[in-house]
């Protein structure tokens, strides 16, 4: 039996290790598409600020980790698949046979259709290679424009500020974190960033980038749709991601937003599974299918897909939307169905000046989602309440009056 895992991010690495443990007398091959040993994108912000060296981003830090486990690590990129023959075609002409295949190829950043995004000085912040280029250009006092103010953009934002750059964020939606925060929360984060010296433009679109030369330096001019022009030594594009599924184009593997998988993370082809940012998997809150491009979902997918591949069936309960951000000291959290459900109830309390906000969403007497800003204590309890789908009974009424009492509700119900 040969198990092959394509993609050596968190989903692929956890899957390869799980396969090795669950089915010891087999071949496990892990194919990584980047030059570096398997690493965590989540650690890139720490690399940008010098808190860790490049090796500090590696997922496994012991020399020879994969060899010791008996996992064959192959560096290469898969170009296409012959699912009938159980064969992968790699760039450069090599092939790899498999009996069971896990696709864990992650996602790639989207480049919006804006003129000038191919100019030198414009980078995504997705790979270690991107991070090296950003470090070169994001020196103290440099003018930097960050396109996008979503989850990944806000993570990078903090690192750029720590590097001492003069930062402008341009977001076309009406608020920061439009897919993670409502207007109240998004506006609070915007005011917080502005207080810390970041220039934030929401409801603004970058229309064009042009090269310019000033004081012997090659820089850029960034045009905004209101006519403003921003100087930039560096432009970082963080405008969303798309699952990496191109090499499946002529195969029978069904792809929508990502690779469509069932509750066992199996694709439409019976010996092919998918995990992580490339998989459109079960969603805990809606019972539907979604790509949740976050690391906890990737590792959970990897583990469960591997167990199922190894003939130890586990039904996946679905991933919970779970975004936690620390934006220069302001912690924001969104869990589950934070936008609410039809016929549900909402309780919210905001302290605009104190940068504190809590919004709870109920379906009947069950907490199904929440937003929280400005608190670090007990937010895990909110997640626990959502994931346990606990009926809160009269505590629902108390929380409608004072949402801050969620810890009491949790403790009371645990007795
Ligand atoms: C800067 C940054 C900060 C982040 N911070 C957080 C955070 O705080 N919290 C959080 O939950 N998430 C965070 N994320 C998102 C998180 O990193 C991803 O959700 C996670 O990496 C997904 O894991 P994955 O294994 O599915 O994909 P990836 O980590 O993207 O790994 C996929 C691997 O597959 C390889 N590959 C792709 N195509 C091929 C091919 N054809 N052949 C061979 N190999 C291929 C890729 O090169 C890559 O190595 C962050 C992302 C970035 C960029």
60-87: average pLDDT? 97
Are residues 265 and 247 part of one domain? yes
Are residues 225 and 246 part of one domain? no
The verdict on residue 387 lying in a domain is yes
**78-116 per-position pLDDT tens digit:** 999 999 999 999 999 999 999 999 999 999 999 999 999
Q: Decide which of 178, 207, 237 is a domain's last residue.
A: 237
Are residues 304 and 264 part of one domain? yes
Question: What CATH number has the domain bearing residue 387?
Answer: 3.30.390.30
Centre of ligand 1 to C-alpha 59, Å, is: 11
Nearest atom within ligand 1 for CA of residue 77: 42
pTM value surpassing 0.85 = yes
The verdict on residue 116 lying in a domain is no
Q: How far apart are CA 232 and CA 146, in angstroms?
A: 10
Show the ligand 1 pocket: residues with CB < 6 angstroms: 6-12, 31-34, 41-42, 44-45, 77-78, 104-107, 125-126, 152, 155-156, 244, 247, 276-277, 293-296, 298
Q: Which domain holds residue 368?
A: 329-414
Are residues 14 and 55 part of one domain? yes
Residue 137 has pLDDT above 60, yes or no: yes
| 173-to-206, 242, 321 alpha-carbon distances in Å | 12, 19, 21
The verdict on residue 113 lying in a domain is no
- Give CA angle at 323 (340, 191), nearest 5°: 85
Listing DSSP states for 293-316 in one string gives -SHHHHHHHHHHHHHHHTT-----
The verdict on residue 224 lying in a domain is yes
Centre of ligand 1 to C-alpha 181, Å, is: 23
Are residues 96 and 194 part of one domain? no
Are residues 341 and 297 part of one domain? no
Q: Are strands 2-6 and 100-103 parallel, antiparallel or unpaired?
A: parallel
The verdict on residue 46 lying in a domain is yes
Are residues 8 and 20 part of one domain? yes
The verdict on residue 317 lying in a domain is no
Looking at residue 414, its pLDDT comes to: 63
Q: Decide which of 237, 271, 287 is a domain's last residue.
A: 237
Q: Decide which of 216, 237, 258 is a domain's last residue.
A: 237
Looking at residue 345, its pLDDT comes to: 98
Are residues 334 and 281 part of one domain? no
Nearest atom within ligand 1 for CA of residue 109: 53
**CA-wise closest residue to 383 among 296, 321, 339:** 321
Looking at residue 90, its pLDDT comes to: 98
Residue 379 has pLDDT above 90, yes or no: no
Are residues 232 and 135 part of one domain? yes
Are residues 266 and 337 part of one domain? no
**CA-wise closest residue to 336 among 180, 182, 188, 184:** 180
Nearest atom within ligand 1 for CA of residue 325: 8
> Helix, strand, or coil here: 25?
coil
Centre of ligand 1 to C-alpha 312, Å, is: 26
Residue to substitute in 52, 295, 303 for testing ligand 1 pocket (most ligand atoms within 8 angstroms of CB): 295
**Two tokens at 34?**
């980047």
The verdict on residue 323 lying in a domain is no
**CA-wise closest residue to 302 among 269, 268, 336, 261:** 261
Please state the domain count of the chain.
3
Listing DSSP states for 350-388 in one string gives EETTTTEEEEEEEETTEEEEEEEES--TTHHHHHHHHHH
54: phi then psi, degrees, rounded to nearest 5: -55, -40
95, 87 in Cβ contact below 8 A? yes
Are residues 248 and 221 part of one domain? no
Residue to substitute in 40, 57, 105, 247 for testing ligand 1 pocket (most ligand atoms within 8 angstroms of CB): 105
Residue 375 has pLDDT above 90, yes or no: no
The verdict on residue 314 lying in a domain is no
């Amino acid at each position: 039996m040969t198990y092959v895992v394509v993609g050596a991010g968190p989903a692929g690495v956890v899957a390869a290790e799980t396969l090795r443990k669950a089915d010891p007398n087999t071949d496990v091959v892990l194919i990584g598409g980047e030059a570096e040993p398997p690493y965590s994108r989540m650690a890139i912000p720490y690399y940008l600020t010098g808190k860790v060296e490049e090796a500090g981003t590696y997922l496994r830090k012991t020399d020879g980790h994969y060899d010791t486990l008996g996992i064959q690590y192959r560096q290469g990129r898969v170009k296409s698949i012959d699912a009938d023959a159980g064969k992968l075609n790699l760039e450069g002409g090599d092939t790899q046979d498999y009996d069971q295949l896990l696709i864990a190829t992650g996602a790639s950043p989207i480049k919006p259709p804006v003129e000038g995004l191919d100019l030198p000085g414009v980078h995504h912040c997705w790979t270690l290679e991107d991070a090296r280029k950003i470090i070169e250009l994001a020196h103290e006092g440099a003018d930097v424009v960050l396109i996008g103010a979503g989850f990944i953009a806000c993570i990078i934002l903090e690192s750029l500020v720590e590097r001492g750059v003069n930062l402008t964020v341009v977001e076309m939606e009406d608020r920061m974190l439009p897919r993670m925060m409502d207007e109240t929360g998004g506006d609070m984060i915007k005011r917080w960033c502005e207080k810390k010296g970041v220039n934030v433009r929401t409801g603004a679109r970058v229309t064009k980038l042009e090269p310019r030369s000033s004081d012997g330096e090659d820089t850029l001019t960034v045009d905004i749709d209101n006519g403003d022009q921003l100087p930039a030594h560096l432009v970082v594009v963080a405008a969303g991601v798309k699952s990496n599924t191109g090499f499946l184009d002529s195969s029978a593997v069904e792809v929508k937003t990502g690779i469509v998988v069932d509750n066992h993370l199996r694709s439409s082809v019976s010996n092919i599974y998918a995990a992580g940012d490339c998989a459109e998997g079960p969603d805990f809150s809606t019972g539907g299918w979604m790509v949740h491009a976050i690391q906890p979902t990737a590792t959970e997918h990897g583990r469960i897909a591997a167990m199922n591949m190894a003939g130890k069936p586990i039904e996946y309960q679905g991933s919970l939307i779970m975004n936690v951000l620390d934006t220069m000291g302001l912690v924001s959290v969104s869990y589950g169905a934070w936008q609410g459900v039809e016929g549900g109830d909402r309780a919210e309390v905001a302290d605009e000046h104190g940068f504190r906000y809590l919004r709870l969403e109920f379906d009947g007497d069950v907490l199904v989602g929440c937003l929280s800003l400005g608190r670090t204590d007990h937010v895990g309890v909110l997640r626990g309440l959502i994931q346990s789908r606990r009926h809160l009974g009269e505590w629902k009424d108390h929380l409608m009056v004072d949402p801050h009492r969620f810890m009491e509700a949790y403790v009371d119900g645990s007795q």
